Every structure is written in structure tokens, then in C-alpha cells.
A = this chain, B = another copy of it.
């Protein structure tokens, strides 16, 4: 039997623990995993493109556990009432090859992305950062808000989205959370207005095109930019001139992947970047001055999905009766697949799903 975590299980975990604590504890797991970066097998994702979207498989392994995520990206889905991104993932035992856990990762990817964003900002942003502009108020925006409130101490959030209904939805959801009582929420009428006075600028927009969300005049010295939305070839959010501003440090997850998928796809191959693993293991200083502009050019890396799958698995294993599915046969005699499943001696495999 394989452990199973569905959307309802994640909802129950979050409703018990609180999204802020979940994100903070998950960020600790992600940080610990990035600190042993060298142990992970890294490969670019395996993508299947169609005219309307992409389906990707993102595997990794640390030699003990193997994980992969299935994730799609279909920007036109929203118009049909569907999610742009859905995801699920599997954790498996490298020693036997058996899958251990199947988990939803649509909600969990939003949680892990927020955890990764806040973790990177904890290293890169100025410690006195309290005001964040949040450009793009769609499916991921609440998670980013909660993560930065909890882990960075953000106390003013300046919202903008081309879709005013999305901003209203975000504000409504945030105001419904008692733990965000000390958070000032400001609706801005443009990206430029949202960025005014911001210490951190988070862009989490979804168009599959080279958009220009941020331009140099919006970016004052000392700002940290958390660029989340640009995450595949042809999908960027920053004007290339932002990347060319003086005293800019760009941090990425896995350089070979980010050169193809990140904001830096707009730059020549020798444009200097730093991998986050070097920052969080203190091989490279995070920020050189209070005036430096730092950019976390996030595209999402398989290690972060590995981390969230491990974190979720540990949480459900603490429960008395985690849900399980009969995804793999349990046999008395491994050479008797036929008899053990289809013949007379099937016992364990015919137990119903809990």
C-alpha cells in the first residue's frame, strides 16, 4: 500500500497547523535540503508542449529518496473555470524502487513556492524590510502574503492586478485571517503605485508571454525583487533593463534551468548569477550593501518538491491512520505476480482503499 495525501488532507493539515506555520516549517526543510545541494541528482524538467500549454515531469533524487512532480501550465484554463497549474507528486524508495507516497501538489506547490520565496528573501532582502508590493493577485498571492508576513515581518502589503476582481478576492481572503490582523493592506491603481515605498516587490503574474511588469524607475536602491511568475521559455516579467541596473545581484535555483526558463533568459549566457545553494550555505555573501538590488529569479526546482513531499509524508506518518491506496501489489511470492494478484492467493491486494 502507498500513502496518499489528497487535497482534503492538505486542507485539514493547514486548518490545524495554520498556513503561516506550515510555510515556515517547510522553508526550514527546503533550506536544509539546499544546504546539501551536492547530494541531489539534478536534471532539467521533461516537458511535453502543445499549442495551449505544457505538461512537465520534474524528477530528482538524493540517493535515498526519489521524487518527481507532474505539473501542467495552461494559461487559458482560467477562462474555462480551471486552474492554470495543477500538480501532484510521488516520493519513492531508491533502494527498492517502490513508491511510498502519492500526494496532491497543486495547493502544496503554492505553499512550497511561498516558502521558497520567503526563504530566499530572508537571505537576500534587507532585515528592516516591512513593505511589500504584490503584483499579480491570482492563485498564488495569498500564499506569498502569508509567507512574507510570517517569515519576513511584512506589515504593509501593496496590491495590484490588471484584474480588479482578483485583488478584491485576495484582500477578502487576507482580511478573513485573524493572524494577519497587524497587516496593512493597500490597493494600488498601477504597478508603479504599488511599488512606491516597497522594500520587497513580488511579481506573480501568469501570462505566457514576455511581459514587462517591472521597469527600472519602479525599482529603488535596496529593494529585493521576488520574481515568481516568469518560469518558462518566453515567459518573463522584468524589463531586461532591470537586470542591467547597476549593483544588481541575481540569485537563481539551478543555473542551467534558469538560463532557459528564468528572467535571465533575456540576458547573454555569461550574465552573472549566483545559485541559492551557495547563498544559504554561506559560500557567497547574500547582499553586499543596504543599497544593492537583489533579485530572486525563481522558476521552481525539483528539490523544492522533494522537500514538500518529505515534509508532508512526515506529517501524515504521525497520524494514526494515514490514507492509503493499493497502487502496488503486496505479494507473498514476488515471482508469483499472477497468482498473487489475479489467482487464488490474493489477500493483501484485495483489501479496499481506506
Chain A residues packing against B (C-beta within 8 Å): 4, 6-8, 10-11, 14-15, 19, 41, 43, 46, 48, 50, 52-55, 57, 59, 61, 63, 66, 68, 70, 72-74, 77-78, 80-86, 88, 90, 92, 94-99, 102, 104, 106-107, 110, 137-143, 163, 165-166, 169, 172-173, 176, 323, 325-329, 331, 333-339, 341-344, 346, 349-353
Q: A92-B55, A106-B329, A326-B104 are in contact. Are A10 and B99 (CB under 8 A)?
A: no
Enumerate the 8 nearest inter-chain pairs by beta-carbon distance, A residue then B residue, closest first. A72-B97, A142-B338, A6-B326, A139-B337, A7-B349, A74-B97, A7-B326, A138-B335
Residues of chain B contacted by A81 (CB below 8 angstroms): 331, 333-334
Partner of A11 from B50, B107, B137, B350 at Cβ < 8 Å: B350
Evaluate contact between B83 and A52: CB separation under 8 angstroms: no
User: For the complex, would chain A's binding face be called helix, strand, loop or mixed by DSSP majority?
Assistant: mixed
The 8 Å CB contact of A97, one of B15, B53, B341, is B53
Residues A78 and B334 in contact in the complex (CB < 8 Å), given A10-B341, A70-B90, A107-B342 = yes
Min CB distance A138 to B, Å, is 5
Residues of B within 8 A of A83 (CB): 328-329, 331, 334, 337
Q: Are B97 and A336 in contact (CB under 8 A)?
A: no
Residue of B nearest to A74 (CB): B97
